């Protein structure tokens, strides 16, 4: 009798989990959808080669559109605005057979981004900001060869996974206002320092402002040779290894203002050798350290802002 009860409970429990994991298309049927078209894109200057293209767009409105399933975005749509609709679940590979280039899923209730949700899509820009994301599985953004920009600001992400972003073409990565505490070894192993696009060279831009970063592994950025911008304002950094940015031979702009830096040794200062402009305002630097850093940047004819 005990075994029968145990088996019955297991079957019921398994069935319940399966039902919860099914994508319910009825939610989307209740949405109000409007369509439009315009010439070109205007977001983030990412779509440089398509400025004169006709862009067909859709906007979804509603408050309880909890599920986003396959085949719910028409094939011809290039830009979709699904912000603030109560979305919490996205079906894996839901963008198969679409030409969608820009997707705005901000201001929703997405807690977990599962493996392969966006895989094999044509997305160039993905906005997941202002959700409640705590879990990003290792392959959540894998095999997105057209992806150039991802916005994950204002979530609850606590850990950077070095496995993210495999087989992407990212040059804009933004995770502002999360709770990340450190950047691990090989943090950027799946990112390139720049993207060549027609006549443009788009340098990598990483924004990690307003997190809780105390530690950056000395080998976090060893795969990169160029960066356009790295912004680490309003974190808890108090030191950097001389090796942290050693391999990056050109960093256009670095902002580490509003951290806990007190001073840098002569050796640790060399981490800024290839930084063209450094902003280090609102730290705890003493006068002697400021003078030392000023001389260092003057000698290499670059800019430092206190």
Please report the pLDDT score of residue 48 as a whole number.
64
Q: What is the mean pLDDT of the chain?
A: 90
Instruction: Check residue 96 and give its pLDDT.
Output: 85
CA distance 168 to 299: 38
Determine the pLDDT at residue 40. 78
Q: All domains of the chain, ordered by start, with CATH?
A: 22-177 (3.80.10.10), 180-306 (3.80.10.10)
Q: What is the pLDDT of residues 94-146, one digit of tens each?
A: 998 899 999 999 999 999 999 999 998 999 999 999 999 999 999 999 999 99
| pLDDT-above-90 percentage for the chain | 81
The pLDDT score that the predictor gives to residue 9 is 40
Cα dist from 65 to 27, 29, 40, whole Å? 5, 9, 28
- Locate all alpha helices (DSSP H) within 60-133, ordered by sequence: none
pLDDT value of position 173? 98
Residues of the chain with pLDDT under 70: 1-21, 43-52, 199
- Strand segments, DSSP code E, in 152-232 are 172-174, 182-183, 194-197, 200-203, 205-207, 215-216, 226-231
Q: Is the dihedral of CA 259, 264, 268, 272 positive or negative?
A: positive
CA distances 54 to 38, 50, 266, Å, are 6, 8, 55
How far is residue 229's CA from residue 191's CA, in Å, rounded to a whole number? 14
| Structure-derived torsion over alpha carbons of residues 271, 274, 277, 279, reported in degrees to the nearest 10 | -10
Give 142-166 pLDDT, tens digit per residue: 999 999 999 999 999 999 999 999 9
β 149-151/172-174 pair status: parallel
pTM here is 0.91
pLDDT of residue 1: 45
**Cα 273 from Cα 221, distance rounded (Å):** 15
């Amino acid at each position: 009798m005990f075994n029968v009860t145990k088996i019955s409970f297991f079957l019921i429990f398994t069935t319940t989990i399966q039902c919860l994991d099914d994508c319910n298309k009825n939610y989307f049927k209740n949405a109000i959808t409007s369509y439009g078209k315009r010439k070109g894109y205007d977001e983030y200057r990412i779509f440089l080669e398509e400025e004169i293209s006709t862009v067909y767009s859709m906007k979804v409105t509603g408050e309880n559109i909890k599920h986003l399933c396959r085949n719910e975005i028409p094939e011809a749509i290039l830009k979709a605005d699904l912000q603030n609709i109560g979305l919490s679940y996205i079906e894996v590979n839901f963008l198969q057979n679409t030409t969608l280039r820009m997707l705005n899923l901000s201001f929703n209730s997405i807690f977990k981004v599962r493996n392969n949700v966006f895989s094999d899509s044509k997305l160039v820009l993905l906005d997941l900001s202002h959700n409640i994301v705590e879990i990003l599985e290792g392959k959540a953004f894998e095999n997105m060869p057209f992806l150039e920009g991802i916005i994950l600001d204002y979530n609850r992400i606590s850990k950077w996974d070095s496995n993210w972003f495999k087989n992407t073409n990212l040059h804009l990565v933004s995770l502002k206002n999360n709770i990340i505490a450190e950047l691990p070894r090989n943090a950027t192993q799946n990112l390139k320092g720049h993207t060549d696009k027609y006549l443009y060279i788009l340098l990598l831009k990483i924004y990690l402002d307003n997190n809780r970063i105390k530690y950056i592994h000395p080998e976090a950025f060893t795969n990169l040779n160029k960066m356009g911008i790295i912004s680490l304002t309003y974190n808890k950094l108090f030191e950097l290894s001389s090796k942290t940015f050693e391999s990056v031979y050109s960093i256009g702009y670095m902002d580490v203002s509003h951290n806990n830096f007190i001073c840098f040794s002569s050796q640790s200062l060399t981490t800024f050798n290839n930084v063209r402009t450094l902003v280090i305002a609102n730290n705890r630097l003493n006068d002697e350290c400021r003078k030392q850093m000023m001389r260092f940047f003057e000698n290499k004819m670059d800019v430092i802002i206190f």
